[in-house]
Structure 1
Amino acid sequence: MSDRLLPGPLWLAGCGNMAGAKLARWLDEGVDPAQVSVVRPSGREVGHGIRVTTDYPEDEVPAIVMLGMKPRQLDLAAPALAPILDPETILVSILAGAELASLRARFPAPRTIVRAMPNLPVRIGKGVVALASDSDDNAARALVTGLMAALGHAEWFDDEAGFELASELTGAGPAFLFRFIDALAEAAATLGLPDQQAARLTLRMVEGAGALAAAADDDPETLARKVASPGGTTEAGLKVLDADRALLDLVRRTLEATRVRSLEMAEAARPGAD
């Protein structure tokens, strides 16, 4: 499987939580650790026999380079990395806010630059990866699609505006869902269930409900109505959530906050930004 996923060496420039989750999944999917190099200033090992260096390797030309450092570190990494890349190298960035134009200004050689926004469930092959590129190299795009599809669901966007909106939904969404899971469990505990039991039951409920929503022909609103018998307990709870569209308004404001921050990060990542 590694030959199908990787046509040559893969370099990870930085390996934080998200990049590390992707790498772990690729290894599970059969990627050969000998094909992978992690470049990080700390030199800290990542295990699995993967080479970790503090400088970019000189003994190979990478087929794919993934930028996995923090967005604010882009200008620190680019001067050393850019001269190494050739036109055939596929550059994949998972840096929030770093637009294609900003990346091309720093990395002029690669013909194909791809923005990819994964979410943390990629670690178990249940992630969502939004993709965008200005490249018309179909072979390169197909290669990236295969690599990202090994992490879950990969979907391309024709423009960066759509990509950004999807990234805000699917990239940040798991954190918002985790907060709601925690709130449900804590609420149940305050009403009398033991803490651990409330947490356990909530997690199992969310797992089953999510699987049902993904498999059902009905939309979530219809499914909610099917759970709620007229005059029953579920309907009473839904009336609280639906009152004055409070839940929808809260979620909209939550996503809007991520969008505003994304625009700020894009501005900061543009060449010449202070």
Structure 2
Amino acid sequence: MGGAMLRRWVASGIAADRITVIDPGSPPVPEGVTVVAAPPPGDTPDILILAVKPQMLDSVAPSLAAIAAPMLVSILAGVEVAALRDRFAAQAIVRAMPNLPVAIGKGVVALHSDSDAPAVRAAAEALMAPLGHVEWVDEGLFDVVTALSGSGPGFTYRFIDALAKGGAALGLPADQALRLARATVEGSAMLAAGAEESPAILADRVASPGGSTREGLNVLDADGALVGLLTDTLDAATRRNAELAAAARR
């Protein structure tokens, strides 16, 4: 995810020579980005971005703890601001939850900060704006947002795959069914994004009374099956985020 964000920032016009990646390995980075194995001594960045797996928090924190950057941005799922504040000396801390489409500037980034300073919030919004849609969220709801928009692309890809497999099961060649499913979801999502009406209303407009779309929707709507399935899906992801947060507090 950190790599996807980095590539999008550079593609949007942020100067690559202003960016330093701290990584003991040799990660692929856009041309002009500096890669170092450890924090440069005496160098304080304007913004320090923490983009590692949550389980790596305590292994990377010691080398970064003393960097008193004006802002620390963390994309670690399940790691709360309080846990970050215990480990880092940044003046302001911002939690960010991006999703994979940030790579093409069509992502969602949820933000929460322990600072109400307008300058901090404006800087965080400006940083994330090239990545897609940005919203501030209460930290108490961050686990749910992480499940919905952070994990949401994974769930959406499952839906596309299932739509294609359903078409293949009814006789379409598998590769053709996948092409049709991808294009159908892409166009439908773009239409929904620009519509004033809710997706529920759009679905009803597609479905003529007694028509084929209505028959299919009757299956999805029966006993709230689809809503129930997705609620259970989000609940499972939300509970896992809460477990990660509890582990970070220990």
Q: Normalising TM by the smaller chain, what interval?
A: over 0.9
Contact 1:131 1:155 in 2 (8 A): yes
Deviations 1:7-60 (A, max 9, x none): xxxxxxxxxxx1111111101111111111111122334241311111112263
Aligned to 2:112: 132
**1:230 corresponds to 2:209:** yes
| Contiguous gaps of at least 5 residues in structure 2 | none
**Could you tell me whether the CA contact under 8 Å between 2:48 and 2:71 is conserved in 1?**
yes
Partner of 1:260: 239
How many Å separate the matches in 2 of 1:241 and 1:45?
43
Deviates further, 22-31 or 40-49: 40-49
Is the counterpart of residue 146 in structure 1 residue 126 in structure 2?
yes
Aligned-partner Cα distance in 1 for 2:222–2:121:
45
Aligned residue type for 2:184: M
1:32-47 map, 5 Å: 32-47=15-30
Q: Which residue of 2 aligns with 1:81?
A: 64
Q: Which residue of 2 aligns with 1:12?
A: none
1:123 aligns with 103
Does the 8 A contact of 1:115 with 1:132 survive in 2? yes
Q: Which residue of 2 aligns with 1:8?
A: none
SS in 2 for 1:114: strand
Q: 2:164 aligns with which of 181, 185, 189?
A: 185
Aligned sequence identity (%) = 52
TM-score normalised to structure 1 length? 0.88
TM-score by length of 2: 0.97
Query: Moved runs in structure 1, 4+ residues, more than 6 A?
Result: none
Higher mean Cα deviation, 139-148 or 53-62? 53-62
> 1:28 is matched with which residue?
11
- 1:81-125 C-alpha deviation (Å, 9 max, x unpaired): 111x12x52100000011000000001x22210000000000111
Output the amino acid matched with 1:103: L
CA distance change for structure 1 residues 41 and 64 in 2, over 3 Å: closer, same or farther?
same
| Alignment correspondent of 2:46 | 63
CA distance in 2, matches of 1:92, 1:196: 41
Corresponding residue number in structure 2 for 1:163 = 142
Structure 1 stretches lacking a partner, 5+ long = 1-17
Q: Give how far 1:216 is off.
A: 1.4
Stretch of structure 1 that moved more, 38-47 or 142-151 = 38-47
Alignment size in residue pairs? 250
- The CA distance in 2 between the partners of 1:75 and 1:217, in whole Å, is 45
Contact 1:45–1:52, Cα closer than 8 Å, also in 2: no
